[in-house]
Amino acid sequence: MCRRILFLLCIMAVVFPSFQAQAVEFQTIGFESSSMGGAGVACATGSFAPYYNPALLAEKDHGMEISISAGVGIREMDLAEHIDKLADTDIVETLDAITAGIGDGRLDDATHEKVGGDATTIRNSLTSLSEQNGLQIMPSISLGMEIGNFGFGIYNVGEASTYAVVDGNRVDTIVYDETSDSYHEYHIEDNSYTLSDQAEYEARSFEYAYKNNLTYLQLTGLTYIEIPVSYGHKFNTKYGDVSCGGSLKLM
């Protein structure tokens, strides 16, 4: 019998890693976990144990406990500030002004001051966004119940994320002039133009990325409900107490 069990375990160890698994992270629910920065797997006893760790039902403090919680978590990384800057900049107007100056070979001083500043903001913001950015909103609402060593609950958690998809190689001010059917790169620092070509335009131009939807905001979201039936039991041994638990979940 022991040999059969060992044989089955060996097969599982070989087969299971070959399957792809997908999962979402634990969302923080409950006042206790929120007050400890999201910790819960090792300490969420009582009515939150079915969500975090059913073995903690064996460490009950009360015969019965019911908890209701609602909350929202927000994470932001280098996105909001740059999106605000880009929103305050008229991108189409800036590109049109740069294209209009091709015939004169430069922009007049007043236009250069404004357009040059806006073009610099666009380039710097896109460069920064291309490195790393993101905004994540995580709402949750839950009802948990502990009765003796049993636990029940309804946990609704969600996650909405947005991030800017930006090609860091396409942030230069190369524009296409339909009138002359030619490509020109505008140099902000010295207010001058140099002749470019289609290959450079498609490889490095922000205008090309903007018009072909290669730079955009990506939105993703997920919400789910899990309804667990859990049980935890403590075993007393001469080496110490061992708590074990398990859950059956409808998700």
Q: How far apart are CA 163 and CA 159, in angstroms?
A: 13
End-to-end CA, the chain: 35
Say yes or no to pLDDT of 12 above 60: no
Cβ within 8 Å of residue 214, ≥6 positions away: 165, 167, 170, 208
Q: Residue 145 phi/psi, 5° resolution? A: -140, 135
Q: How many CB atoms lie within 10 A of CB 95?
A: 23
Q: Which helix (H) or strand (E) holds 119?
A: helix 109-131
Say yes or no to pLDDT of 42 above 70: no
Burial class (CB in 10 A: 0-12, 13-18, 19+), 52: buried
Higher pLDDT, residue 98 or 21: 98
* Residues 170-192: tens digit of each pLDDT: 999 999 999 999 999 999 999 99
> Which pLDDT belongs to residue 3?
59
| Confidence class for position 63, pLDDT limits 50, 70, 90 | confident
Indicate the range of 17-21, 68-72, 98-102 predicted with least confidence. Answer: 17-21
> Which pLDDT belongs to residue 26?
64
> Which pLDDT belongs to residue 31?
65
Cβ within 8 Å of residue 75, ≥6 positions away: 134, 135, 136, 138
In percent, how much of the chain has pLDDT > 70? Answer: 84
